[in-house]
Amino acid sequence: MTRSGPESHISQAARVSSALSSASFQPDGGERDEVLLYLEELVGSGFASWWINEAGGTELHLANGQAFLLRDGGIVCLR
């Protein structure tokens, strides 16, 4: 199996929501599931890991140092 870098997975996940402006984007169940699938592939490939923060929120930490908070309304970049 060939491991690809996280960039390809991130760009695929970003394309899911790129058709709508960020101000009006409210992901439906299918879009959310597709993004989560790509994020799970990053974790499964060793390019990221899931964290639970002090408030009980779910964070995705990439091997390159980037971190994201997963929320009901979308994903927030933490760093």
For the record, the structure tokens of 6 come out as 């996280």
CB contact at 8 A, 6 and 63: yes
Q: In the chain, which residues have pLDDT < 50?
A: 1-3, 15-25
CB contact at 8 A, 29 and 62: no
For the segment 20-40, what is each residue's pLDDT rounded down to a tens digit?
Answer: 344 444 567 778 788 889 899
Give the three-state DSSP class for 12.
helix
